Structure 1
């Protein structure tokens, strides 16, 4: 598994030591605000097992993110195939950071490293980003990394309950954009 480094972060394979802080993030209602209900420890651990398997199978996926200066777990960032139940196909970029990491530019920094990998070694023709219409913080990151909103591609997430999590917006970026 490729490791990505930025001035402040390391995007690396998941370690067993990441399971507890990852579960704490997934239990935080503010972190999960635009993702749905908080996850149990079992659900959170199962997600890491999927991340590891997907990365091994495809050669890309979700990296654990740590702070270079301290080695502290900060969240995740990476690439994933767009969910089958959405009206889109392709590869999606994403990130999720622990609340204490918000507002420092770390999501943008990690996302730029992921895009460089997507368009460099992986040679992807396009990367998408999908989020709840109300998730303005993630949309701001999408704007900062050069993604462009595609108003025609927005959709209602069939897996989300009726309400603010259902309407989704879509952003796109291609190499050299």
Structure 2
């Protein structure tokens, strides 16, 4: 988990599926994402599970965002480790491992 003044970046949870599914079902939002296809709750859940699998296998992945002040889910920041940012990914993996060993997720 990473915390900023107004935002928490954290791993995905089951309660994130419904708000993410609402976004994925909105054609006005999805027209800007990939081929513009909307996704239902089952497809959204599969995506969340895939992101969590990436965290488990690689130690980093796509974050879920959460507002510090309200606890609301503002979306998923487009913050993902890429090959060009390996150094940052290693640091994120180290933080993840430290949290994991202390029982935090």
- TM-score range (shorter-chain normalised) is 0.7 to 0.9
Q: Over the residues paired in the alignment, what is the CA RMSD in angstroms?
A: 2.4
Contact residue 28 and residue 38 of structure 1 kept, 8 A: yes
Comparing both chains, which one has the higher relative contact order based on Cα–Cα distances under 8 Å and sequence gaps of 6 or more?
2
The answer to whether the 8 A contact 1:79-1:91 is kept is no
TM (norm. structure 2) is 0.73
Give the Å deviation of 1:30. 2.2
SS for the counterpart of 2:31 is coil
Provide the aligned length of Structure 1 versus Structure 2.
89
In 2, the alpha carbon distance for the partners of 1:11 and 1:49 equals 17
Match of 1:63 in 2: 63
Normalising by structure 1, we get a TM-score of: 0.45
Q: Distance in 2 between matches of 1:120 and 1:7?
A: 23
Q: Which protein has the bigger strand share?
A: 1
Point out 4+ residue stretches in structure 1 off by more than 6 angstroms. Answer: none
Does 2:7 correspond to 1:4? no
In structure 2, list runs of 5 or more residues that go unmatched: 93-105
Unaligned runs of 5+ in 1: 82-89, 93-116, 123-177
Q: How does 1:44-59 map to 2 (within 5 A)?
A: 44-59=44-59
Taking a change above 3 Å as real, the CA distance of residues 16 and 76 of structure 1, as seen in their structure-2 partners, is same
How big is the shift at 1:29?
Answer: 1.6
Contact 2:81 2:88 in 1 (8 A): no
Judging by fraction of residues, say which structure has more helix: 2
- Please point out which of 80, 87, 91 is paired with 1:121: 91
